[in-house]
Structure 1
């Protein structure tokens, strides 16, 4: 199965005005935040973002490397396909915007004078942490996490040499050597690893495989740390058992197969086990890398909360897909042509209002859903420790 696959008030103005000004600044997440023992820190002022992941945060890698994305992908915000598996922006786009940084360009997409001055994106659709015995046509990808971190190493090495040569043209397009320690390293990968485990349930020791996956993840975090990374924003994996593409193939499930909102229990249980192991490994890395800040972000809970409260939040049922044809047991994938059982040729187009849907194509989320989720991630509501992303570099100062 292929899982293609967001100045203090002057004291002389009086204590009341000072407190009011501080309260307003905190509400806007613009200036300072109070953390534990009364310590007050200014925002991190990240110089760049370096992202690693799968199709949930791929901004053009797979489209540049293999086949370009097709319509109606990208229709909502970009009004054309731009290599994102959604109708518009992804969570990483909203994160970049929230931090005052530009959208991330894919590392391997060099067309059109691409600038990497404030970061680069190494994420690629279908990517896994653990290498899989699959070809691209079977839903695999050559861009596993270890390859992505190797690409980062090459990127840093080559751009550092260009900067050292003192050529202004290159210096304006790439990060400065000192920017890497002041960058945020975002990581959102693991969904495709869980999908691979699901396919082999009963054929291998799932618990041992999940442990191996998170150990390999930790190895890559330590590698990035060795290359100067100091702030990590690490997403766990989402509720894979709630993806409509899987749900639409289920008929007459036995009691207990689905949970109270209609998601597949055993698939979500595997995701939860992975997430627990991931959190434990993040905690252990904090002890091994004491001057690094590692924030664990519970994206599973954020997505599950949205799906559970879909109608309350203004969306249709979370099991409905916006793009593609999915009726009477017949399916045509988003952006593709297909022929129904009665011989009718049909195009898997998008729904009339993508903003009313959570799921875009059965696996990926719509821009509206991505924005809903991003808004709740960046303020620290789902983070451990509970820091807003603007202050995520401060965790090492709290330990």
Structure 2
């Protein structure tokens, strides 16, 4: 068959997806560095280093097995979204902020993301939810404080505003853990929904603070379709077919919650654009980019898209709190490149690559990230 005829025989949504799964051409000289804030979705080693390399999960194989062939403190089998963004702009992988002591270390960027971090600081989260977070406070507010302390090293004698102008800044994805704490504690979804304006407002405040420091190009990602995550498919499993999306098998009400967060976040971004008309504030649609993959999973070779690649054999979704990835009772799927979920909570490198290409191509970024330079 003629290749042009074959191309047009593919449904347009799937054709867009195939393009997004391919490598987007690299661009150079757009930015001097990337500055990133977030949680385990973009953590490149902060949580692992801060623990004294004592983590029993991300500090051991099979974490890191696909690209690095060793654990790096990333919560997946290879690269994360911010790694693919760095490659696209011809920059090195973004270094974790913990351990950096010299201007040279921070010359090409710095990553403040920490696994487990939420948007709200621990005391504020407790006041709102009544839940006392078990982990150290690595919230977005704390990450911004760390950033301010390191500014002299990052700027290295340059004007801070000029340095920020030449930086691509990612504010998230973050916020998922604020909700995860409630979901894990079985707080009713209706109550967790009341937390969303507080979380979104705090993200907007961080964007505002960064722009006041001189930032001119910021990417603010939305939340994932959490109703597709094995951890919640197991926890919120029902016997009612109407609770699930017939096309993906994901839980409708959890995905609708993500949509609610993303809708309010986009409204907050519009507000910040009005306050700062000279800044470029880009919404990265992680939800849409990933859901598109779930919707065409079988066509793309993902045979069991709702199962974790690395997890407990004895469970429906290959996930267990008691036997997580790296546990002696866990196993790894034959081909992680054909899996969407890595450990039931975090995604595989393949998923992150698809999301990165979706936003870098401009299909899932508003305004298009592809038109920055």
**Fold match, TM over 0.5?**
yes
Asked if residue 392 in structure 1 is aligned to residue 363 in structure 2, the reply is no
Rounded to whole Å, the distance in 1 between the matches of 2:315 and 2:149 is 50
In structure 1, the residue matched to 2:150 is: 155
In structure 1, the residue matched to 2:81 is: 91
Cα distance change of structure 1 residues 59 and 242 upon mapping to structure 2, 3 Å threshold = same
CA deviation after TM superposition for structure 1 residue 205, in Å = 4.0
Rounded to whole Å, the distance in 2 between the matches of 1:44 and 1:77 is 26
In structure 2, the residue matched to 1:295 is: 282
Cα distance change of structure 1 residues 202 and 355 upon mapping to structure 2, 3 Å threshold = closer
Deviates more, 1:310-319 or 1:269-278: 310-319
Which structure 2 residues correspond to residues 269-284 of structure 1 after superposition, within 5 A?
A: 269-284=256-271
Which structure 2 residues correspond to residues 109-124 of structure 1 after superposition, within 5 A?
A: 109-110=99-100, 115-124=105-114
Rounded to whole Å, the distance in 1 between the matches of 2:96 and 2:86 is 14
Rounded to whole Å, the distance in 2 between the matches of 1:159 and 1:297 is 25
In structure 1, the residue matched to 2:347 is: 365
Which structure 2 residues correspond to residues 104-183 of structure 1 after superposition, within 5 A?
A: 104-110=94-100, 115-131=105-121, 132-133=125-126, 138=134, 140-160=135-155, 163=157, 178-183=162-167
CA deviation after TM superposition for structure 1 residue 258, in Å = 1.7
Q: SS where residue 349 of structure 1 aligns?
A: strand
In structure 2, the residue matched to 1:228 is: 214
Rounded to whole Å, the distance in 1 between the matches of 2:326 and 2:305 is 20
In structure 1, the residue matched to 2:244 is: 258
Give the counterpart of 1:320 among 299, 302, 307: 307
In structure 2, the residue matched to 1:8 is: none
Tell me the alpha carbon deviations over residues 261-308 of structure 1, each in whole angstroms, 9 at most, x when there is no partner.
211122111111010000000001000011111011111011111112
Rounded to whole Å, the distance in 1 between the matches of 2:225 and 2:86 is 24
Gaps of 5+ in 2: 1-22
RMSD: 2.7
Rounded to whole Å, the distance in 1 between the matches of 2:69 and 2:38 is 24
Tell me the alpha carbon deviations over residues 41-83 of structure 1, each in whole angstroms, 9 at most, x when there is no partner.
xx87111100011101000010011134222100111111100
Which structure 2 residues correspond to residues 210-229 of structure 1 after superposition, within 5 A?
A: 210-229=196-215
Rounded to whole Å, the distance in 2 between the matches of 1:112 and 1:353 is 40
Give the counterpart of 1:241 among 227, 239, 252: 227
Query: Could you tell me whether the CA contact under 8 Å between 1:125 and 1:141 is conserved in 2?
Result: no
Tell me the alpha carbon deviations over residues 83-118 of structure 1, each in whole angstroms, 9 at most, x when there is no partner.
001110011100000010000111013499982111
Query: Could you tell me whether the CA contact under 8 Å between 1:44 and 1:392 is conserved in 2?
Result: no
Q: SS where residue 195 of structure 2 aligns?
A: helix
Cα distance change of structure 1 residues 227 and 28 upon mapping to structure 2, 3 Å threshold = same
Rounded to whole Å, the distance in 1 between the matches of 2:296 and 2:168 is 31
CA deviation after TM superposition for structure 1 residue 323, in Å = 0.5
State the TM-score, normalized to the length of structure 1.
0.76
In structure 2, the residue matched to 1:375 is: 357
Cα distance change of structure 1 residues 251 and 185 upon mapping to structure 2, 3 Å threshold = closer
Rounded to whole Å, the distance in 1 between the matches of 2:356 and 2:332 is 23
Count of aligned pairs: 332
In structure 1, the residue matched to 2:337 is: 355
Larger-Rg structure: 1
CA deviation after TM superposition for structure 1 residue 373, in Å = 1.9
